[in-house]
Amino acid sequence: MSKIEDYDMPDELYYHKEHMWAKVEGDKVRVGLNDFSQKLAGEISYIEIPEEGDEVKQDDAVGSYETGKWLGKLYTPVSGEIVSTNEDVEDDPTLMNKDPYGEGWLFEVKMSDPTELDNLMKGEKAIEWLKGEIAKHPKEEK
């Protein structure tokens, strides 16, 4: 696992430019919100995720999340069919804050075109991208 400043970034994951992560599991991809974005947003109080059976296209906005100060969109990193959703995170959206890469996952997509993974970032490319994102959003002084 890489640690970029205060943000965790598991090395085995792919990253989407809209702060989503993707974990490949055979022909499916498990998707969640990255550590940087959940920390920037603050405590997540509401989430809307796509439903099982929905057809999605890469880069589509497929849901949203809210905090006391923030309304963000959720995107799908790959095209395909939503085959499962995390009901636990719908019941307790703070799981996205507590464990963004584990219990805080959001949905799974059965990929219709695995070559779309080439459009995502991984490894050094993802680290450099995140450093740029951190620079765009300086931390608020407390």
pLDDT tens-place string over residues 72-127: 999 999 999 999 999 999 999 999 999 999 999 999 999 999 999 999 999 999 99
Q: Do residues 1 and 9 touch, judged by C-beta distance below 8 A?
A: yes
Query: Does pLDDT of 138 surpass 80?
Result: no
Average pLDDT, the chain: 94
Confidence of residue 55 (pLDDT cuts 50, 70, 90): very high
- What the chain holds in terms of domains, given with CATH numbers, is 2-132 (2.40.50.100)
Q: Please state, for a pLDDT cut of 90, what percent of the chain lies above it.
A: 89
- The CA-to-CA distance between both ends of the chain, in Å, stands at 28
pLDDT of amino acid 51: 96
DSSP assignment of 15-56 equals: EETTTEEEEEETTEEEEEE-HHHHHHH-S--EEE-PPTT-EE
Residue 141 has pLDDT above 90, yes or no: no
Q: Which residue has the tokens 């085959």?
A: 83
Q: How far is CA 114 from CA 56, 111, 119, in A?
A: 14, 6, 10
Identify which has the larger pLDDT, 21 or 3.
Answer: 21
> Does the structure show a pLDDT above 80 at 35?
yes
> What integer is the mean pLDDT of 114-141?
89
Residues 6+ apart with CB under 8 A from 99: none
**Token representation of residue 101:** 């890469």
Predicted confidence band of residue 68 (pLDDT cuts 50, 70, 90): confident
Is the pLDDT assigned to residue 142 strictly greater than 50? no
Whether the predicted pLDDT of 139 surpasses 70? no
